[in-house]
Amino acid sequence: MIGAAVEPIVLGPNPIHRFYRGGAAIARFRGVPLDDDHAPEDWVGSTTAVFGEDTLGLSVLGDGSLLRDAVAADPEAFLGPEHVARYGADTMLLVKLLDAGERLPVHYHPADGFARRHGFAHGKTEAWLIVEATAGARVWLGFREDVAVEALQGWLDDRDRLLHALNEVPVSPGDLIFVPAGVPHAIGEGILMVELQQPSDLSVLLEWSDFRLDGSV
């Protein structure tokens, strides 16, 4: 919060169950037990809900109220007058801890224009700060060559073909990677990162086999 003599707001862990494995590195980082091996994301100071949910993903204050509601009630105290003058009470940001316990599927995120045409406030451009990475850890980012739509349609859910078409990037702790909306990408196993992104939960999967997309464990 902005102002004089304010106390920090302490927020607890906010794990999110997903279809891909992970969570052990986040639990170790936070010093808490691992209760779910499919909780690879922790949404930090979140005023954004998981896609299709009303409150899941929203950070909860010590008194049980939602951080989102506190920000809406006094946006200048949390965001500052210049931010509020430009964006209102919209934080414009979602921060995550992300622990890839397996390689994520190749996917991309819609840009603002597409999102707004379909009733969402934001697309999803993001940036990654690599905190931990096992030996040989890597990410894949952007097609190596231009790909026609017809060719891409033939590759959908072809794990080897899709990865081969992307730029393979080794990563180490301290690396920073910018991922614009619309750029296909995948995060490899063994990476713990801080993800800074637009406050959106929209993704388009280009592969899906072998992932538990129905949420089963």
Domain residue limits, the chain: 15-205
| pLDDT for residue 217 | 42
> Can you tell me the distance from the alpha carbon of 171 to that of 44, in angstroms, rounded to the nearest whole number?
23
Local mean pLDDT, 10-residue blocks, the chain (217 residues): 65 95 97 96 98 96 96 96 97 98 96 96 98 98 93 86 95 98 97 98 89 55
pTM of the model: 0.91
> Can you tell me the distance from the alpha carbon of 113 to that of 198, in angstroms, rounded to the nearest whole number?
13
| pLDDT for residue 7 | 78
> Can you tell me the distance from the alpha carbon of 107 to that of 61, in angstroms, rounded to the nearest whole number?
33
**Could you tell me which residues are beta bridge partners of residue 94?**
197
| pLDDT for residue 210 | 74
> Can you tell me the distance from the alpha carbon of 143 to that of 183, in angstroms, rounded to the nearest whole number?
8
Instruction: Note the CATH number of domain 15-205.
Output: 2.60.120.10
Chain-centroid distance of CA 114 in Å reads 18
